[in-house]
Amino acid sequence: MIALLPGGLQLAYDEAGSGTPLLLVHGWPHDRTMWAGQVAGLATYARVIAPDLRGVGESAVTGPYTIDQYADDLVAFLDSLGIASAVVCGLSMGGYIAFSMLRRHRDHIRALVLADTRATADTDEMRANRARLIDLIERDGTAALAARQIEPMLGRSTRERQPLLVETVRRMMASVSPEGAIGALRAMAARPDSTPLLGTIDMPTLVVGGAEDGITPPEVLRSMADSIPKSRIEILEQGGHLCPLERPAAFNHVVSEFLGTLLYD
Considering the complex, state which of residue 235 and residue 245 has its C-beta at the smaller distance from ligand MLT. 245
**251 interacts with ligand MLT by CB under 6 A:** no
Euclidean distance between CA atoms 260 and 256, whole angstroms: 6
CB of 129 to ligand MLT, least distance (A): 9
Euclidean distance between CA atoms 75 and 6, whole angstroms: 11
CB of 28 to ligand MLT, least distance (A): 4
> 3-class DSSP state for residue 104?
helix
- Structural contact between residues 183 and 211, judged by C-beta atoms closer than 8 angstroms: no
**69 interacts with ligand MLT by CB under 6 A:** no
* 231-236 and 2-4 strand pairing: unpaired
CB of 94 to ligand MLT, least distance (A): 7
The amino acid that residue 167 corresponds to is: E
Euclidean distance between CA atoms 43 and 56, whole angstroms: 24
Judged by CB under 6 A, which of 188, 236, 250, 259 binds ligand MLT?
188
Whole-angstrom Cα Rg for the chain? 17
Considering the complex, state which of residue 198 and residue 259 has its C-beta at the smaller distance from ligand MLT. 198
Q: Which of 119, 120, 113 is CA-nearest to residue 207?
A: 113
- Structural contact between residues 246 and 240, judged by C-beta atoms closer than 8 angstroms: yes
Considering the complex, state which of residue 28 and residue 70 has its C-beta at the smaller distance from ligand MLT. 28
Q: Which of 145, 176, 216 is CA-nearest to residue 32?
A: 176
- Structural contact between residues 186 and 242, judged by C-beta atoms closer than 8 angstroms: no
Considering the complex, state which of residue 26 and residue 110 has its C-beta at the smaller distance from ligand MLT. 26
Q: Which of 44, 45, 59 is CA-nearest to residue 14?
A: 59
**142 interacts with ligand MLT by CB under 6 A:** no
**71 interacts with ligand MLT by CB under 6 A:** no
CA atoms within 13 A on the CB side of 41: 19
**Site size with ligand MLT, rule: CB under 6 A:** 7
The 26-65 contact track toward ligand MLT, x by CB under 6 A, reads -xx-------------------------------------
- What residues between 230 and 249 interact with ligand MLT by CB under 6 A? 241
Judged by CB under 6 A, which of 215, 221, 224, 235 binds ligand MLT?
215
**86 interacts with ligand MLT by CB under 6 A:** no
> 3-class DSSP state for residue 3?
strand
CB of 25 to ligand MLT, least distance (A): 10
**93 interacts with ligand MLT by CB under 6 A:** yes
CB of 188 to ligand MLT, least distance (A): 5
Which residue lies nearest ligand MLT, judged by its C-beta?
Answer: 27
Q: Which residues bind ligand MLT (CB under 6 A)?
A: 27-28, 92-93, 188, 215, 241
